[in-house]
Structure 1
Amino acid sequence: MTCRICGADLPEGAMFCGECGSSTSATPESRRPVDPRPGDTSVLHRSESGVISIPVIGEPVGVERRAEPEVSPPGPDATPSGPAGGVTWPAEPPVPAGPAEPAEPEGEPDAGSAVWVLRFTTGEVVSVSGSGLVGRRPMPQPGERFAHLVQIVDRGLSVSKTHLEFGEHDGDLWIADRFSSNGTVVRRPGEGGVRCEPGRRVLVPRGSRVEIGEQAFTVA
């Protein structure tokens, strides 16, 4: 009889492993932590009847992705692209009439993207477009990609390292609390505060105030 966690030899009838302390019925799968984030994907809207949920098709919660251009292998005259602002993007395929030009970096706002200005009570002022994370030391989960990682200074530690996520849907800005310690409250113009349910997307129109712990930012 062996422990399925550490592989130690166990006497017959043992209920716990003397080496790692695990139950003899435990398996690596049962010891794996459960992801607390909800599996649904929705954007919450305020309406006359209250809050309604509208699904966002094809987007996993917590991840805002942009379509990547399809590219062919570069030819001998193609100009390779490199990192710009911490983002790496592929080069466009060579054009017969002349050398290829580098594609726009992923995560940068294009001509049709909306831009929002976030003004924090900590003093930071950041212009954003697309997706991003906000916190004392925001860190994406494995497999996640964001255009912005907005780091703010909060000596009181009321703001979590990765406090909230933001993104764009149909030209509107939304935020989602990332299971922060002190939560997130949205105050839209002319309305009372709405505490965000962790993992749910909430629209924040321009002029809104978003409270994160003891800090806050306005959206312009």
Structure 2
Amino acid sequence: MNCRICGAQLPEGAMFCGECGSSTSATPESRRPLDPRPGDTYVLHRSESGVISVPLQDHPPVEVPEVPANPGEPMRQEPPGGEASTGPSPVAPQVAAFVLTFTTGEVVTVSGDGLIGRRPMPQPGESFAHLVQIVDRGLSVSKTHLEFGEHDGGLWVADRFSSNGTVVRRPGEDGLRCEPGRRVQVPRGSRVEIGEQAFTVA
């Protein structure tokens, strides 16, 4: 039989999975924790009294125009009246790309959102553009350690309630330990420490 949580092969009569520690009666739905993470994005500002969280203003979603079937053919836009427009075709907004260089040797270019860990797995109902798996023989990095995403052209990270936590070191600043579930902006040139490993953002 197989574990219904991680899919590992189990011997007959096993009560717990040797890979993930789950009960053999557990299901993905029964193991799904309540998600206490806020849906906002925060910029962390430093002050004499410590760290202050300031919410960013909400931005409306960007509409991306359709790409023509023939890439060499200019795109034609139909105005509400039905007549073809003679003006220049709108250009789809560029999605920022970030290069993550890990102390474990991996170098990954990402854009959009994703998860980082030894064996990153989305929760049921979640979907990500990237699942970045890194090798950490010391097991200091959690299986799903960190979530990242893009906001207003910049990168943010959020600790996914990992065992050893996440520390962000921005250029010219001291290390800032991330509050689990809270998004923290990470400018290029920053170092993000996850357990005993780390990666830089470029």
Q: TM-score, normalised by structure 1?
A: 0.59
Matched, 1:52 2:50: no
Alignment check: 8 A CA contact 1:42 1:53 kept: no
* Aligned CA distance change for structure 1 residues 35 and 163 (closer, same or farther; 3 Å): same
Whether the 8 Å CA contact 1:41–1:56 is kept in 2: the answer is no
Q: Is the 1:42–1:56 Cα contact (8 Å) retained in structure 2? A: no
The aligned amino acid for 1:42 is: D
- Give the residue type in structure 1 aligned to 2:35: R
Deviation at 1:207, TM superposition (A): 0.4
Q: How many residues align?
A: 145
Matched, 1:40 2:22: no
Distance in 2 (CA, whole Å) between partners of 1:52 and 1:171 is: 20
Aligned-partner Cα distance in 1 for 2:111–2:182? 20
What is aligned with 2:184? 202
Separation in 2, partners of 1:150, 1:131: 11
**Match of residue 135 from structure 1:** 117
Identity %: 68
The residue that corresponds to 1:164 in the other structure is 146
Query: Could you tell me which residue of structure 1 aligns to residue 166 of structure 2?
Result: 184
Rounded to whole Å, the distance in 1 between the matches of 2:138 and 2:102 is: 15
Instruction: Spell out, residue by residue over 1:109-146, the C-alpha distance to the aligned partner (whole angstroms, 9 max, x if none).
Output: x7601000000000000000000000000000011010
Q: How far apart, CA to CA, are the structure 1 residues paired with 2:32 and 2:174?
A: 34
In 1: Cα distance, 2:121 partner to 2:160 partner:
11
8 Å CA contact retained: 2:160, 2:180: yes
Cα distance change of structure 1 residues 56 and 151 upon mapping to structure 2, 3 Å threshold: farther
Unaligned runs of 5+ in 2: 1-29, 70-91
Q: Which residue of 1 aligns with 2:128?
A: 146
Partner of residue 19, structure 1 = none
Secondary structure, aligned partner of 1:176: strand
Structure 1: unaligned runs, 5 residues or longer = 1-31, 59-64, 71-78, 80-109
TM-score, normalised to structure 2, is 0.64
Supply the RMSD in Å over aligned alpha carbons. 2.7
Larger radius of gyration: 1
1:77-133 CA-partner distances (Å, limit 9, x unpaired): xx9xxxxxxxxxxxxxxxxxxxxxxxxxxxxxx760100000000000000000000
Q: Which one of the candidate residues 157, 170, 176 is aligned to 1:175? A: 157
**Aligned AA (1:122):** T
